[in-house]
């Protein structure tokens, strides 16, 4: 009884359940570069090159460790370009008896596996993915019967369960959450360390060549390419973050500075999500730095919360609520995506900076995604389908299980409050305070009317006005609606007129 062990592009972990359940002596491991996976959205070129290179390196490492590996390249003439097709070919090539695969991270791919299971003559065993702190059943047990699902309470449960940053049953330092210490604007006297760079080796060079040839029409720049592509390199990125950035992570977590896309963030999302790093490695490294006195609690707790809290929470929520979650559009937003999301050509400097960095690096940090691009998408009433499609395409760490709750839940409030208690809407003051973007902008955050007025200023009020029927009763927005109520009719009229003119002027993509 020999098995085919199917490993997907985001399952590049030596301890993935399908490998743990298999045998080096009898089984065959399959990895395949597939057009279906590389094109279900037009992924950023850098994401495809990164994943293909990481897959090729992983296949080599598995071979070195004694596994028999079949690696199918994109340009293999017999490649059927989908998981089922490639697995069926391998099954007959090697006369294998059954398939072992780890639960895919995305609902779309689970459906592919289920359809294949229904028609294949081979048994297909799907094993739970245990590379998370919280299993999917455990999350649904936690969610059961709760009126509201809030990350903060889930996070506290996981802190208690794991003992991470805990002293007996109390959080270390006495508080669960140090977010209020983590809101400093950028400080130009504090220099930001360069992100970890790796020279491309022959495998990466070959893959970049392939991507340039086969995916020339996809979004994004392939150069510069300096991502880690092996486990050892990803570990180096984590270590460099812990030693050079973690101490400032908390304080400058929300800060944005022109020309500094990476700030004091960790840039490990790419590696966590494809299996080159585990969340436990990252969390343990941060906690160890705290124990050694190398980083303050506000930074370490802030970082741990992103991984133990947000990352686990959005995964649980995704699997609990799919497939309905993807169809939700609470605010009935239906505007097309502006063309400038793809080409970055807008006079709004904050957006221009974030789009340029996204195009160049397939990366933007959380606040750029949430409070600049996301905030604009919310205020402008862009359709959830269009916005989800964009975020899934442009970031190298994007997979639907983590992208969709962030976009439909956190950014667009399309889920009507399943993930967040209120929309993360903000006017121009937030971006002005947390970035240096406004000083280089055609618009002014201080101007309320006329050609110089920052669009975030009027779009914010226009958004609240448009959705008054759905949002006024939200207790967290009642103060804001009171301010709106006090505005003169003339001012309100001006806001509506300016917003309409601005939105109508946008060229759709």
Stretch that binds ligand SF4, among 114-122, 146-154, 258-266, 454-462 (CB under 6 A): 454-462
Would you tell me the crossing angle of helices 45-64 and 202-214 to the nearest 10 degrees? 140
- If one asks whether residue 272 binds ligand FAD (CB under 6 A), the answer comes out as yes
How far apart CA 448 and CA 455 sit, in angstroms, is 9
Specify the residue, 22 or 302, whose C-beta has the smaller distance to ligand FAD. 302
Q: Could you give the string, one character per residue 344-383, with x where binding to ligand DLZ holds by CB under 6 A and - elsewhere?
A: ----------------------------------------
- If one asks whether residue 399 binds ligand DLZ (CB under 6 A), the answer comes out as yes
DSSP string, 48-91: HHHHHHHHHHHHHHHHHTT-EEEEE-TT-TT--SSHHHHHHHHH
Question: If DSSP codes are grouped into helix, strand and coil, which group holds residue 5?
Answer: strand
Specify the residue, 152 or 201, whose C-beta has the smaller distance to ligand FAD. 152
Say which entry of ligand FAD, ligand DLZ, ligand SF4, none residue 8 contacts (CB below 5 to 8 A, set by partner kind): ligand DLZ
Query: Binders of ligand DLZ: how many residues, by CB under 6 A?
Result: 16
Stretch that binds ligand SF4, among 244-252, 310-318, 381-389, 448-456 (CB under 6 A): 448-456
Q: Least distance in Å: CB of 314 to ligand SF4?
A: 27
Buried b (16+ CB within 10 A) or exposed e, 353-389: bbbbbbbebbbbbbbbbbbbbbbbbbbbbbbbbbbbb
Query: Binders of ligand SF4: how many residues, by CB under 6 A?
Result: 15
- If one asks whether residue 365 binds ligand FAD (CB under 6 A), the answer comes out as yes
- If one asks whether residue 8 binds ligand DLZ (CB under 6 A), the answer comes out as yes
- If one asks whether residue 248 binds ligand FAD (CB under 6 A), the answer comes out as no
* All residues at 6 or more sequence positions from 27 whose CB lies less than 8 Å from its CB, including other chains: 2, 3, 4, 5, 67, 68, 96, 100
* All residues at 6 or more sequence positions from 78 whose CB lies less than 8 Å from its CB, including other chains: 89
How far apart CA 71 and CA 33 sit, in angstroms, is 8
- If one asks whether residue 43 binds ligand DLZ (CB under 6 A), the answer comes out as yes
How far apart CA 179 and CA 262 sit, in angstroms, is 20
Q: Identify the residue among 17, 104, 338, 381 touching ligand DLZ (CB under 6 A).
A: 104
Stretch that binds ligand DLZ, among 34-42, 58-66, 132-140, 362-370 (CB under 6 A): 34-42
How far apart CA 207 and CA 56 sit, in angstroms, is 9
Q: Identify the residue among 412, 425, 441, 477 touching ligand SF4 (CB under 6 A).
A: 441
Q: Identify the residue among 67, 132, 176, 310 touching ligand FAD (CB under 6 A).
A: 310
How far apart CA 32 and CA 55 sit, in angstroms, is 8
Strand partners, 237: none
Q: What is the CB neighbour count within 10 angstroms for residue 184?
A: 15
Strand partners, 28: 4, 68
- If one asks whether residue 32 binds ligand DLZ (CB under 6 A), the answer comes out as yes
What is the torsional sign of CA 450, 454, 460, 466?
positive
Say which entry of ligand FAD, ligand SF4, ligand DLZ, none residue 441 contacts (CB below 5 to 8 A, set by partner kind): ligand SF4
Main-chain phi, psi angles of 170, to 5 degrees: -115, 145
- If one asks whether residue 106 binds ligand DLZ (CB under 6 A), the answer comes out as yes
- If one asks whether residue 139 binds ligand FAD (CB under 6 A), the answer comes out as no
DSSP 323: T
- If one asks whether residue 228 binds ligand FAD (CB under 6 A), the answer comes out as no
- Structure-derived torsion over alpha carbons of residues 336, 106, 420, 495, reported in degrees to the nearest 10: -10
The residues binding ligand DLZ (CB under 6 A) are 8-10, 32-34, 37-38, 43, 48, 51, 104-106, 109, 399
The residues binding ligand FAD (CB under 6 A) are 265-269, 272-273, 306-307, 310-311, 314, 365-366, 369-370, 374, 391, 395, 397-398, 402-403, 406-407, 410-411
The residues binding ligand SF4 (CB under 6 A) are 348-350, 428, 431-432, 437-438, 441, 443-445, 454-456
């Amino acid at each position: 009884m020999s098995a085919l062990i199917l490993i997907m592009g985001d399952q590049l972990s030596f301890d993935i359940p399908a490998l743990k359940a298999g045998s080096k002596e009898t089984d065959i491991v399959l990895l395949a570069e597939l057009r279906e996976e590389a094109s279900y959205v037009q992924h950023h070129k850098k994401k495809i090159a990164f994943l293909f290179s990481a897959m090729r390196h992983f296949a080599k490492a598995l071979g070195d460790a004694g596994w028999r590996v079949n690696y199918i390249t994109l340009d293999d003439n017999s490649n059927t370009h989908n998981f089922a097709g490639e697995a069926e070919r391998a099954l007959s090539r090697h006369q294998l008896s059954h398939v072992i695969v780890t639960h895919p991270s995305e609902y779309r791919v689970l459906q592919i596996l289920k359809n294949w299971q229904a028609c294949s003559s081979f048994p297909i065993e799907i094993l739970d993915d245990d590379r998370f702190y919280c299993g999917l059943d455990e999350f649904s047990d936690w969610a059961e019967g709760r009126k509201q699902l809030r990350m903060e309470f889930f996070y506290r449960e996981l802190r208690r369960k794991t003992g991470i940053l805990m002293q007996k049953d109390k959080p270390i330092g006495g508080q669960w959450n140090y977010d209020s210490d983590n809101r400093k604007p950028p400080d130009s006297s504090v220099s930001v360390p360069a992100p970890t760079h790796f020279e491309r080796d022959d495998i990466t060079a070959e893959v970049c060549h392939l991507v340039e040839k086969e995916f020339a029409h996809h979004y994004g720049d392939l150069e510069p390419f300096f991502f880690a592509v092996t486990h050892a390199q990803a570990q180096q990125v984590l270590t460099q973050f812990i030693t050079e950035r973690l101490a400032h992570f908390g304080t400058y977590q929300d800060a944005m500075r022109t020309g500094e896309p990476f700030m004091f963030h960790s840039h490990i999302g790419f590696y966590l999500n494809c299996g080159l790093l585990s969340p436990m490695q990252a969390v343990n490294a941060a906690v160890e730095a705290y124990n050694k006195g190398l980083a303050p609690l506000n930074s370490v707790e802030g970082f741990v919360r992103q991984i133990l809290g947000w990352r686990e929470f959005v995964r649980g929520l995704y699997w609990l609520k799919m497939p309905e979650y993807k169809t939700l559009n609470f605010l009935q937003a239906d505007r097309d995506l502006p063309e400038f999301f793809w080409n970055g050509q807008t006079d709004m400097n904050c957006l221009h900076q974030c789009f340029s960095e996204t195009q160049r690096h397939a990366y933007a940090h959380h606040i750029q995604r949430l409070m600049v691009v996301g905030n604009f998408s919310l205020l402008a009433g862009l359709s959830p389908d269009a916005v989800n499609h964009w975020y899934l395409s442009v970031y190298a760490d994007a997979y639907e299980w983590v992208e969709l709750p962030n976009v439909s839940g956190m950014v667009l409030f399309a889920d009507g409050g399943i993930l967040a208690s209120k929309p993360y809407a903000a006017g121009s003051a937030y971006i002005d305070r947390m970035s240096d973007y406004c000083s280089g902008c055609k618009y002014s955050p201080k101007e309320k009317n006329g050609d110089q007025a920052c669009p975030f200023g009027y779009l914010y009020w226009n958004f609240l006005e448009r959705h008054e029927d759905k949002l006024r009763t939200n207790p967290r927005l009642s103060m804001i609606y009171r301010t709106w109520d006090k505005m003169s009719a003339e001012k309100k009229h001006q806001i509506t007129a300016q917003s309409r003119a601005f939105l109508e002027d946008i060229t759709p993509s």
